[in-house]
Amino acid sequence: MMIMKSLRSRRFLALAAALTVASAGLTGCGGSDSDNSGASGNAPIRALLAAQPATLDPIVGARSAQIVWATMLEPLINTGSDLAPTDTGLVTSWTRTDATTWTFKVRPDISFSNGEKADAAAVANTITLTRDSAASQLKSYFGNVTAIEAPDATTVVVKTKTPQYDIPDLLTTVYLVPPKYYQEKGSEGFAAAPVGTGPYVWSGANAGRDISVKRNPDYWGTKATNEGVTFTWANEAAQRLALIQSKSVDVSFDLPPAQASAAKAAGVEVVSTETAMKIIAFLDSTKAPFDDPKLREAAALAIDRDAIVKGIFDGQAVADAGLLNVKPGQQPTQSVTADAAKAKELLGGASPTVQITYPAAQYTNIEEVSQAVGGSLEKAGFKVSYVPLDYGTLVKRIIGRQVPGISIFAGVPNVAVPDYFVSGFMKTKSITGNCPDPQIDTLAQQALEQNDAQQAAPIYEQLNTIGVVQKHCYVPLYRQVFNYATGPGVSGVVFGPLNTVDFTKTTR
């Protein structure tokens, strides 16, 4: 069963003090005290996260932080309820003028909150930064792009070396940044006070305690109903539960099953959503011990995803055996089934040492999950050590190829196409780079050169089989069921399966 962390009084009091400061600030802006008495419907929203965002720069930042930056910044292309691109955002149309050329039309007369023009030149600059910045999170996805041009204020032309059917899909997770401001401030400066075209603008932050945004009065679209959002964070789930129960916050995100059940029992409104986010164990095939294919297979057979879902999440997660089945409800045609006896047999009495690295407090029950994976490996004969890191440090080490053994973290297909994981995790030049293989690179390219997703689907099935079933570089574990709780009278929080949140209609 799940291991419950104890509530540490000092950390709770520190967080409560921070929330008191934030609450006082909200009251000054027309908000209310902790019991919500007298709160108007458009009062600022107090949102509690599980962890502090590592950065608010969308060029270099992991998409787990978009819950904050997406209040101020907008993706180039919006998505609909089916997760497919729509014409409702900054980019309003696109055409494939030939096999390697895409032409995009940009919504006219849009400005950033600092007055810069959000025109085609800004769009081209953002795509260029995404492709060329050394620390870009999406760099590997745009390696096939050879030219990005803005022939006029509302037109962007993107050329690729070889055909690539999913360029519009990729632009749904590229967030527009103002060229002059971003160049002047740099990544760290921009992250300290982001500027965008979104429904909110930067209001301020107390370092390590909270981040606030306020309604953008000049927003080009439908303006936010509330006056703003203040984000705070608490690493421990017990704290997040206590703060929503005490009405100190309006919405508390990422409640593990035990806390979600406790909240429901106490009469707190809890919303549960199966997400596209999946937790994956990545085995580094470039370093010992997993440069040995037999040891990778042993590890893959030792890990029992069904036991993790049942024992740690009490069934409130969805066991997921595939890497490239990116939408909720999908499963691969081939997968690996846990077989502890065979795993032990493959080790043949050897006791190889394995390091398990994971982002402490970043995901629901991630410590318990990492311990469960390690326990399975130890039963097979592996010797296991654990390295918990903060999320930002883990990402930097993975990109720097400094994480041997197993790293456990979430894959979030912010673009609901298989190539998002292929380019991010499978290709030789990818974020993880843990499974370099010329065959994978060739198939990945072939898939992108198809006319559409339907034609590419059989190739992605083949890639999934190679990476998960044959090479055992990836051990998919489960798809998360995300729980969040709302306080009395709070409504209008919109949580999407790609881990996006729309606060614009939220009231309390």
- Whole-angstrom Cα distance, residue 343 to residue 370? 18
| Per-residue pLDDT reduced to its tens digit, 442-483 | 999 999 999 988 999 999 999 999 999 999 999 999 998 899
- Whole-angstrom Cα distance, residue 468 to residue 337? 11
| Per-residue pLDDT reduced to its tens digit, 95-124 | 999 999 999 999 999 999 999 999 999 999
Structure-block tokens of residue 503: 């606060």
Strands (E), 290-432: 317-319, 353-359, 383-389, 406-411
How far is the first Cα of the chain from the last one, in angstroms, to the nearest whole number?
A: 36
Angle at 114 between CA 109 and CA 117, to 5 degrees: 30
Closest Cα partner for 59 from 121, 142, 162, 154?
Answer: 142
Q: Where are the alpha helices (DSSP H) in 106-198?
A: 120-132, 167-170, 179-192
Domains of the chain: 9-71+198-268+487-502 (3.40.190.10), 78-181 (3.90.76.10), 277-481 (3.10.105.10)
Name the average pLDDT for the chain. 90
Which residues are bridge partners to 201 per DSSP?
214
Closest Cα partner for 158 from 98, 89, 111, 112?
Answer: 98
Q: Taking the alpha carbons of 370, 398, 186, 499 in that order, is the dihedral positive or negative?
A: negative
315 vs 480: which has the higher pLDDT: 480
Closest Cα partner for 362 from 256, 493, 500, 282?
Answer: 256
Structure-block tokens of residue 427: 């290709």
What b/e readout covers 276-295, taking b as 16+ CB neighbours within 10 angstroms? bbbbbbbbbbeeebbeeeeb
- Please give the backbone phi and psi of residue 10, each rounded to the nearest 5 degrees, phi first: -65, -45
Angle at 425 between CA 65 and CA 162, to 5 degrees: 105
- Does the pLDDT value for residue 10 go beyond 80? no
Looking at residue 40, what is its pLDDT?
58
Average pLDDT over every residue of 6-24 = 38
420 vs 29: which has the higher pLDDT: 420
- Does the pLDDT value for residue 13 go beyond 70? no
Nearest-10 crossing angle of helices 293-302, 366-380 = 120
Looking at residue 477, what is its pLDDT?
97
Looking at residue 390, what is its pLDDT?
92
| Per-residue pLDDT reduced to its tens digit, 486-506 | 999 999 999 988 889 999 999
| Per-residue pLDDT reduced to its tens digit, 470-480 | 999 999 999 98
Looking at residue 39, what is its pLDDT?
53
- CA dihedral defined by 90, 95, 96, 100, rounded to 10 degrees? -40
Looking at residue 14, what is its pLDDT?
39
| Per-residue pLDDT reduced to its tens digit, 162-218 | 999 999 999 999 999 999 999 999 999 999 999 999 999 999 999 999 999 999 999
Looking at residue 276, what is its pLDDT?
86
